[in-house]
């Protein structure tokens, strides 16, 4: 059994900040703010990618509500381990009870673009984004964030272990968060195991697999079999596409970012790892079930000018897959072989404040 080192927070300054924020009219601090420090193993866990001490600090930051302006929200409030690192809501509630305008995706270490509109180049670029985002954590005053963290007695040692000195600055916060996020490489799925003979797909799952890689063209965009740079079988998602959800999109996705109408309605191709557990689906969480997703591709694609060529027939019209009920059920069964249930229990990713 691993000895635990219990680090206690003073919590004093964060309480002061909370009152301060209240005076500014921000009243939504929840009663569930962190009051004690994290419980950590004496020797850092072994993380698959990179520096264990940085990842350990990143884990604490990820779950620390002190990173939000009113101490009410952490990254883990929306990216919940029990929900495969999303939250099963169409939109998520951030600081000040505001709703996000897009569905919370799961977290998966990947090189290449992230977010529904593909804006972040890598996890280091994105890590402070949610902290500063007014809907998510609303802490844009980074020097104030650093001084708040400096006042919590568990951070100096964690920063020292990670960086050699206990100085807290925003680039270190970003680097540590990124180091943690870079370890989300779950890929011990039934599908991956079947490739090395460690699991056997059922006849129905095999039928779905043949459709996924064949007639239904799913693998043309969702490269679940690509070892890419991460080597875990979910290598490439570095592309976006318009899949004809609507003839006119309310959220233009990549088009909103680039201002280029040929990008309208284009969204990042999401990783399908654990997709069984990440409902609801799509950038706006419009589909509650995988059956609805499959029916979209089967018969409901809309003729948007930017609709991807792979989803058009020879006449340029939205493609109809004409799947039978058995085909549709098989595709769903196959999608469920892409789950790695260790994501729910792996201590290295759990909330250290929850013990």
Contacting positions for ligand HEC (CB under 6 A): 62, 73, 75, 77-79, 92, 94, 100, 102, 104-105, 107-108, 114-116, 123, 126-127, 130-131, 136-137, 177, 181, 216-218, 220-222, 240-241, 243, 245, 267, 269-270, 272, 275, 278, 281-283, 290, 293-294, 297, 308, 310-311, 331
Buried-state track 158-197, b at ≥16 Cβ within 10 A, e below 16: bbebbbeeeebbbebbbbbbbbbbbbbbbbbbbbbbbeee
**Contact assessment for residue 171 and residue 93, using Cβ atoms and an 8 Å cutoff:** no
Closest Cα to residue 133, out of 100, 108, 103?
100
Q: Output 292 or 346, the one with its CB closest to ligand HEC.
A: 292
**Contact assessment for residue 114 and residue 268, using Cβ atoms and an 8 Å cutoff:** yes
Token couple for 325: 């009920």
Cα gap 69→148, rounded to integer Å: 10
Q: Output 121 or 231, the one with its CB closest to ligand HEC.
A: 121
Smallest gap from residue 103 Cβ to ligand HEC (A): 6
Smallest gap from residue 355 Cβ to ligand HEC (A): 20
Q: Output 5 or 210, the one with its CB closest to ligand HEC.
A: 210
Cα gap 102→116, rounded to integer Å: 8
Q: How many CA atoms lie within 13 A of 130 on its CB side?
A: 32
Smallest gap from residue 262 Cβ to ligand HEC (A): 15
Q: How many CA atoms lie within 13 A of 263 on its CB side?
A: 17
Q: Output 43 or 317, the one with its CB closest to ligand HEC.
A: 317
**Contact assessment for residue 216 and residue 331, using Cβ atoms and an 8 Å cutoff:** yes
Smallest gap from residue 3 Cβ to ligand HEC (A): 29
Q: Output 5 or 226, the one with its CB closest to ligand HEC.
A: 226
Q: Output 17 or 65, the one with its CB closest to ligand HEC.
A: 65
Scanning the structure block, which residue is given the tokens 């000018």?
305
Smallest gap from residue 195 Cβ to ligand HEC (A): 19
Q: Output 7 or 279, the one with its CB closest to ligand HEC.
A: 279
Smallest gap from residue 163 Cβ to ligand HEC (A): 18
CA dihedral 67, 72, 77, 82 (to 10 degrees): 120
Smallest gap from residue 235 Cβ to ligand HEC (A): 14
């Amino acid at each position: 059994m691993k000895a635990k080192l219990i680090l206690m927070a003073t919590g004093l300054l964060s309480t002061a900040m909370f009152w301060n924020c209240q005076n500014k009219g921000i009243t939504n601090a929840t009663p569930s703010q962190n009051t004690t420090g994290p419980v950590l193993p004496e020797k850092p866990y072994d993380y698959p990618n990179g520096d264990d001490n940085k990842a350990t600090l990143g884990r604490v930051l990820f779950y620390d509500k002190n990173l939000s302006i009113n101490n009410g929200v952490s990254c883990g409030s929306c990216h919940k381990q029990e929900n495969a690192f999303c939250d099963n809501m169409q939109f998520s509630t951030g600081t000040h009870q505001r709703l996000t305008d897009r569905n919370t995706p799961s977290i998966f270490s990947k090189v290449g673009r992230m977010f529904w509109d593909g804006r972040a180049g890598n996890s280091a670029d994105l890590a402070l984004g949610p902290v500063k985002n007014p809907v998510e954590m609303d802490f844009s005053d980074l020097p104030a964030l650093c001084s708040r963290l400096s006042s919590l007695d568990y951070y100096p040692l964690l920063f020292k272990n990670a960086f050699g000195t206990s100085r807290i600055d925003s680039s270190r916060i970003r680097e540590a968060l990124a180091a943690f996020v870079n370890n989300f490489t779950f890929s011990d799925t039934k599908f991956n195991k079947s490739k090395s003979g460690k699991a056997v797909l059922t006849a129905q799952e095999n039928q779905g697999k043949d459709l996924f890689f064949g007639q239904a063209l799913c693998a043309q965009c969702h490269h679940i079999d690509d070892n890419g740079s991460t080597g875990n079988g979910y290598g490439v998602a570095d592309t976006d596409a318009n899949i004809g959800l609507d003839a006119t999109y309310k959220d233009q996705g990549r088009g909103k970012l680039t201002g280029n109408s040929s990008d309208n309605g284009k969204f990042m191709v999401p990783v399908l790892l654990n997709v069984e557990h990440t409902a609801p689906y799509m950038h706006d969480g419009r589909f509650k079930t995988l059956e609805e997703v499959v029916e979209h591709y089967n018969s409901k694609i809309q003729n948007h000018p930017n609709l991807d060529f792979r989803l058009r027939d020879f006449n340029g019209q939205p493609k109809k897959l004409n799947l039978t009920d058995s085909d549709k059920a098989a595709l769903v069964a196959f999608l469920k072989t892409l789950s790695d249930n260790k994501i729910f229990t792996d201590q290295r990713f759990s909330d250290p404040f929850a013990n």
